[in-house]
Structure 1
């Protein structure tokens, strides 16, 4: 047996122990331990692609594969016997001075998905290589992926991409504050808010209000001011794992449900007071007072 082959096999055995440890750690933490499949990118509604050519890319930003995502773990290390065998052959060739060809990847936001060269990436990962040469095709997506994103993150960002597609908020308000939720299925609630705003604005002004105007008005007069109140009161720190958009819905929904329970329209002050009684003093109470002031100002505006 050649010296290079012996060394590669020894490294492969150590690698197997490393993969086992990572898998055990993920199981204990109840975290996913797999690559992202490229097909989930369709959730982000890509608008096109263009060729970037050959360039070095950061190995740590490679988070998925086009068709070999089941063969490697989340660290892009081989977890199946045949992938380990292929890795060992590549490592042997590398030790013998063979120059490995560049890989091919799709760039999605700040991340990459391997089109060709999965085992070469696994080799680079195992060797703690910082960069790897790649032929890059970039996909244009309205919501970018980032290193560390999980399948749940892709689902949430996919819903956000669909929301932007339906509202055109990114076109109506370029540079708008990102609207991110911590759980799926919440953007439909925002669409309901916009439709409601469109209906009542039409009644108030006795005219037809376009969808685009309703989107912009909802963002300018409801969403953004509420989020600013959340920031000013520093309330988000009291809700670990939640987002500003989560709290926006929480404030708006509480007002609605109180109205339903009491059989009459509940104002912002009354809705806020009910929460103040429940949570007493502290940051939450100050936040709710700020929200109350915001809605009070809103109600004093013409048509409010």
Structure 2
């Protein structure tokens, strides 16, 4: 599948789209960074994309794979047709993604009937890398690399929610570029105080101005800021340049 943002392949095939994302794989890739309190909510059905332990019973659209569960599915469907017939489903939340702990059949019925939301009880887990709702299993290696990048370059939360790169190797190249920028700042007599200072200053003084310059030139339409900067960095490195601006082709 081609990424609509970059036009590049993401490695997400139909088999991956048709599979629920395992919670343990996702939280390992993203990096657990603490819990938040549980709360009731009406969760968009489209954002429920994963499972805690039942990937073999339902496909990626919560259709039954295990036909031995059909009788149970029918009973849940009948109960959901009655007001107050079933309790809230239990979900784990990572960013914009939700994973079913209890209530797989209820989510399946809700999707089949075209419900937009499902009454839920949610436990939110904070992560180092942010989980967008479009994240699938094939994206987890890149998200794991993003997690490692953020441990080296701990960008502010408002920036993390907008990060996306297709290739794992791009994250390490970006971390090297940020650290090299910080070293050059030190040589100019303006040393960074710690990694958070480095990350914040690099993003606002280096990434932001370059991205703004390229966008004014009509370059990078449809790319996220981090994608545009990574593309520009790769173009600069290929040409052996040490500074900006660099034309991108």
Contact 1:48 1:139 survives alignment (8 Å): yes
Contact 1:181 1:245 survives alignment (8 Å): yes
Contact 2:62 2:108 survives alignment (8 Å): yes
Report how many residues are paired.
235
Give the whole-Å Cα distance in 2 for the aligned partners of 1:145 and 1:96. 34
> What SS class does the counterpart of residue 180 from structure 2 fall into?
helix
* Distance 1:96-1:154 versus aligned 2 partners, 3 A rule: same
Structure 1 residues 108-117 or 130-139, which shifts more? 130-139
* Distance 1:126-1:256 versus aligned 2 partners, 3 A rule: closer
Query: Could you say which structure has the higher strand fraction?
Result: 2
CA drift at 1:164:
2.5
Give unpaired runs (5+ residues) of structure 1: 1-25, 260-264, 276-283, 285-304
* Distance 1:232-1:190 versus aligned 2 partners, 3 A rule: same
Aligned residue for 1:220?
A: 204
Listed one character per residue, the Cα deviations across residues 218-256 of structure 1 (whole Å, up to 9, x for unaligned) are: 32332211111222223223xx7x544333233333333
Give the whole-Å Cα distance in 2 for the aligned partners of 1:266 and 1:145. 34
* Distance 1:81-1:222 versus aligned 2 partners, 3 A rule: same
> What SS class does the counterpart of residue 128 from structure 1 fall into?
coil
Q: Does 1:247 align with 2:232?
A: no
Query: Could you say which structure has the higher helix fraction?
Result: 1
Contact 1:198 1:211 survives alignment (8 Å): no
Give unpaired runs (5+ residues) of structure 2: 1-11
> What SS class does the counterpart of residue 131 from structure 2 fall into?
coil
Aligned residue for 1:257?
A: 238
Contact 2:94 2:127 survives alignment (8 Å): yes
Q: Equivalent of 1:184, from 168, 177, 181?
A: 168
* Distance 1:94-1:267 versus aligned 2 partners, 3 A rule: closer
Give the whole-Å Cα distance in 1 for the aligned partners of 2:144 and 2:78. 41
> What SS class does the counterpart of residue 67 from structure 1 fall into?
coil
Contact 2:16 2:138 survives alignment (8 Å): no
For the pair shown, the structure with the greater C-alpha radius of gyration is 1
Listed one character per residue, the Cα deviations across residues 239-285 of structure 1 (whole Å, up to 9, x for unaligned) are: x7x544333233333333333xxxxx67657x64xx7xxxxxxxx6x
Q: Which consecutive segments of 4 or more residues in structure 1 shift more than 6 A? A: 95-98
Q: Does 1:201 align with 2:182?
A: no
Aligned residue for 2:118?
A: 132
Q: Looking at both structures, which has the greater relative contact order when contacts are Cα pairs under 8 Å and sequence separation is at least 6?
A: 2
CA drift at 1:112:
1.5
Give the whole-Å Cα distance in 2 for the aligned partners of 1:254 and 1:148. 28
TM-score by length of 1: 0.64
Listed one character per residue, the Cα deviations across residues 200-220 of structure 1 (whole Å, up to 9, x for unaligned) are: 333343x86544354344323
TM-score by length of 2: 0.76
> What SS class does the counterpart of residue 32 from structure 2 fall into?
coil
